[in-house]
Amino acid sequence: MPQSRLPDVNTAIIVYRREAITDLKGNKYDACLGALHALNGMLPKEYRVTISTMDYNAMMKEGLFATCKFCTQESDFRTVKPFELVLPFVNSVIATQAKEKIWLCSHCQKENRTGETMFTNKIFKKPYYLRVVPDPPTRKDGMMGRTQFTIKFSSWFWLALSSIEAQMGRYREEYQPKDSDMFDMEASVQEGGEIQ
C-alpha cells in the first residue's frame, strides 16, 4: 500500500468503526454488518478475517487431540475409538502385558499405539483473536426471535469487530513503507547536517 493511501485508510477505519458501533446501538443490523464488511475489506487479503461458521467451528475445537505418527494429522480423541489388541506371546513377554491399546487415525486409517502417541490438549484462553469468525446470526420471525437475535447479533458483532481490530493492529505493526530508506536518510541529514 502506498504511503499516501495509509492516512485515507486510517480515516476510513475510524469512520466505519464508529458507524458500525452506532448502527449496533440503533438496531440497524444491516448497516452495522455493511460497516464491518467495509472495515474487513480495507485490509490487504492476507490480513482479512474470514466469515465462515464451518471454518470457525473447525478451528475452535477444544479437547484432547492425538497426532498420528504416520501422517502427522491431529485427530479429535473424542471421535476416535481406541481398542485393545491382544499381543502375540513373544511380544507380551517383552512388553510385560498381554494387551496393547491401539487407535485408528481418522485421516490415513493406520494403527497407532496409544503409548507412543503424542497428545495435545487444546484450550482457548479468552480473549482470543482468530482470523475467522462464524457467520452472523439470522433473524427469525416472532417476538422471541427478535429478542434472541439482538442478543446473538451483539455477541457476534463484538467477536467480529475484535478479530478485525486485531488484524488491523497486526497489519499496522508489520507495515513498512516502500520508501523507508528515504526517511532514514532525512533523519541522518537533520542530525549531522550532511549525508553520511
For 75-101, write each residue's pLDDT tens digit.
888 888 888 887 787 777 777 788 888
- Position 151 scores a pLDDT of 92
Give the Cα-Cα-Cα angle 41, 43, 49 (nearest 5 degrees). 75
User: Which residues, in sequence order, are bridge partners of residue 83?
Assistant: 102
pLDDT given for residue 88 in this prediction: 80
Encode pLDDT of 139-150 as tens digits. Answer: 887 776 778 899
CA distance 92 to 99: 7
In contact, 19 and 31? CB cutoff 8 Å: yes
Question: How does strand 83-86 pair with strand 132-133?
Answer: unpaired
Residue 189: predicted pLDDT: 45
| Predicted pLDDT at 7 | 62
